[in-house]
Structure 1
Amino acid sequence: MHCQPDHKHQVYIWLKNEQSCLICDEATDSRDCVCNVCETELPWLREHCEVCALPLPMDGLICGQCLKQPPAFKHVITPWTYSFPVDSLISRFKHQARWPFGQLLARLLGHHVQHRFDNTGLARPDCLLPVPMARQRLRERGYNQAVMLARWLSEHLGIVVEEHLLLRPHETVAQQALDAKTRKRNLLSAFALAPDARVQGRHFALVDDVLTTGATAHSLARLLINAGARQVDVYCLARTPKPGT
């Protein structure tokens, strides 16, 4: 699409010249353009499921759904719950093309993932895979926010992005309005691999903005695992507190 590729220079210059917090508009010296107070008060995800990152009362547990029906992905890595102000920042980035908000969140996500690499033994993937968007929806929106997030994460983490390995050849109903069971049915055969995709033995990380039920991530991870992938993780900006909400 004309308005999606290579806008990083415009966004980068805007961020470098704006010395105020993108959340509260107060002055800040942070290169991330978020002041210490606002960064501290973001809805950081604390205790959560070790697999799908669902918020839980205690840490080190696996939720009932993951125990009953283990997903095809191994870990979900996300810094926040989907609540204010992160939900507002994501919405403005995703639906209003406010790309500086997306770059701010992607940079903080990059810090979070790098911390997990350095301090928890999280394995680095071979490449990042943005969740694909169907052609009709891409034409309507003009850009895929997951692709933009993956590009920014790639710059921060030094991990290559393969934007065209995953395909979404079939149009599906928008996931936001569907419950968990309907989401799974909606995604049957929705995704495919590119004809020249190299999958065998590789470790992938799917990149998306929000994980709700995990149906999309599971469908993509299952496709990759069935094609011979060694491991699939998920990197996203936020996790909803309850599936289907």
Structure 2
Amino acid sequence: MRCQPRVKGPVYIWLKNKQSCLLCGESTDTPQPICTPCESELPWLGGQCSVCAIALPTTGLRCGQCATRAPAYQRVLAPWAYDFPVDSLITRFKHQAKWPLGRLLGELLAQFLQHHFDEGLERPDALVPVPLATRRLRQRGFNQATLLARWLSESLQIPCEDNLLRRIQDTPAQQALDARARHRNLRQAFALMPEALFKNRHLALVDDVLTTGATAETLARLLLDAGAARVDVYCLARTPKPGDRA
């Protein structure tokens, strides 16, 4: 089992004057190891729901589901659609321990969030990674959400508190389940850590991908019931509605 890394140093030499793009291999002088053409071709989200970030023809509107029944979380912020090459980069980071790819995506996510903070988005009091079940953590060796939250914490100067939540049931993987099955799958799966502080706090859940939002909804409701004032969700990518993917 690999231990959850706690090193403060970067997994990539970010301040080199010249480095190679991790996507195409060409030389780049950008602060991160990605060239400008590759960054511009990432599947950036355009029009999206102002609450859950699902893709819409225009921006600033709520999708039908959020308009009918608002979720427990206040807002989802995700820079990309879960499409090539972001889906491949996340998979390699998550399942093949390609940490430089995860760090690159985390740095770009931090830039994306900082832009929104500069535009008036309220900064949270703490970043809270979505917890991973013990067996899955043992198999994988690390929690990708925890790594993302720590990298965001370093860049944004927002505390990362990975001791607020725990996963007490190792439920089946969510990927193959529909929305209703995901909600059933998550019942009683999470718990609050004893003596953790939640009252009147603005917290931001951190994860790699938001699909149906079932996990985010479950955790946001848990935090709000414990006294949190607001819960946002920060993730790398948002999946499209079923049938929307080309």
TM-score, length of structure 2 as denominator length:
0.95
Report the Cα distance in structure 2 between the residues aligned to 1:72 and 1:12, rounded to whole angstroms: 37
Q: Which amino acid aligns with 1:102?
A: G
Partner residue, 1:85: 85
Give 3-state SS (helix, strand or coil) of 1:150's partner. helix
Structure 1 residue 171, shift from structure 2 partner: 1.2
Q: Which amino acid aligns with 2:220?
A: A
Whether the 8 Å contact between 2:107 and 2:155 is mirrored in structure 1 is yes
Partner residue, 1:57: 57
Deviations 1:205-224 (A, max 9, x none): 00000000000000000000
RMSD across aligned positions (CA): 1.7
Whether the 8 Å contact between 1:213 and 1:243 is mirrored in structure 2 is no
Partner residue, 1:159: 158
Q: Which amino acid aligns with 1:189?
A: Q
Report the Cα distance in structure 2 between the residues aligned to 1:24 and 1:8, rounded to whole angstroms: 28
Report the Cα distance in structure 1 between the residues aligned to 2:214 and 2:69, rounded to whole angstroms: 12
Whether the 8 Å contact between 1:15 and 1:33 is mirrored in structure 2 is no
Partner residue, 2:35: 35
Which is richer in helix?
1
Structure 1 residue 13, shift from structure 2 partner: 3.7
Whether the 8 Å contact between 2:171 and 2:189 is mirrored in structure 1 is yes
Q: Which amino acid aligns with 1:47?
A: G
Report the Cα distance in structure 2 between the residues aligned to 1:74 and 1:9, rounded to whole angstroms: 33
Partner residue, 2:188: 189
Q: Which residues of structure 1 form unaligned runs of 5+?
A: none
Deviations 1:123-144 (A, max 9, x none): 0000000000010111111100
User: Residues 59-138 of structure 1 correspond to what in structure 2 (within 5 A)?
Assistant: 59-119=59-119, 121-138=120-137
Q: Does 1:141 align with 2:140?
A: yes
Count, aligned residues: 244
Report the Cα distance in structure 2 between the residues aligned to 1:12 and 1:158, rounded to whole angstroms: 20
Structure 1 residue 58, shift from structure 2 partner: 1.4
The percentage of aligned residue pairs carrying the same residue is 64
4+ residue runs over 6 A deviation: none
Whether the 8 Å contact between 2:206 and 2:234 is mirrored in structure 1 is yes
Q: Which amino acid aligns with 1:194?
A: M
TM-score, length of structure 1 as denominator length:
0.95
Q: Which amino acid aligns with 1:145?
A: Q
Structure 1 residue 18, shift from structure 2 partner: 7.1
| Stretch deviating more after TM superposition (175-184 or 7-16) | 7-16
Instruction: From the superposition, tell whether residues 10 and 233 of structure 1 become closer, same or farther in structure 2 (CA, over 3 Å).
Output: closer
User: Residues 215-226 of structure 1 correspond to what in structure 2 (within 5 A)?
Assistant: 215-226=214-225
Report the Cα distance in structure 1 between the residues aligned to 2:39 and 2:165, rounded to whole angstroms: 33
Give 3-state SS (helix, strand or coil) of 1:111's partner. helix
Structure 1 residue 2, shift from structure 2 partner: 4.2
Whether the 8 Å contact between 1:107 and 1:156 is mirrored in structure 2 is yes
Whether the 8 Å contact between 1:217 and 1:234 is mirrored in structure 2 is yes
Deviations 1:98-129 (A, max 9, x none): 0000000000000000000001x110000000
Deviations 1:151-192 (A, max 9, x none): 000001000000110110111010011111000000011111
Q: Which amino acid aligns with 1:64?
A: G
